[in-house]
Amino acid sequence: MNFLDPRKPPREAKIRYLDADYQVVSEGDFVRCAATGKAITLTELRYWNVDRQQPFGSAELAFAERFRNAGTG
């Protein structure tokens, strides 16, 4: 692959998760779900844990992880 090839492999973004938004620290196309490890495109990213700085692929996964870690901060 050369630098003129428009097909670039997707890159994982580095994100800082805020209360109602997120800030892209390092450009990329996706983040990995903290519960499943599956890629979440930035356009599909809706759920995250601010305290743990973790993204989730769905509300159900975010809730389950929060419930699972309820006693650990």
- Over residues 25-69, the pLDDT tens digits come to 999 999 999 999 999 999 999 999 999 999 999 999 999 988 887
Position 66 scores a pLDDT of 83
By residue range, what is the domain housing residue 52? 14-72
Whether 25 maps to a domain, the answer reads yes
Contact (CB, 8 A) for 54 and 65: yes
- pLDDT confidence tier of residue 5, bands split at 50, 70 and 90: low
Would the pLDDT of 7 be above 90? no
Whether 3 maps to a domain, the answer reads no
Position 70 scores a pLDDT of 73
Whether 8 maps to a domain, the answer reads no
Structural domains of the chain, count: 1
Query: The whole model's pTM is what?
Result: 0.80
10 Å Cβ neighbour count for 58? 15
Whether 6 maps to a domain, the answer reads no
In the structure encoding, which two tokens stand for residue 69, read together? Answer: 């870690």
Query: How long is the chain?
Result: 73
Would the pLDDT of 6 be above 80? no
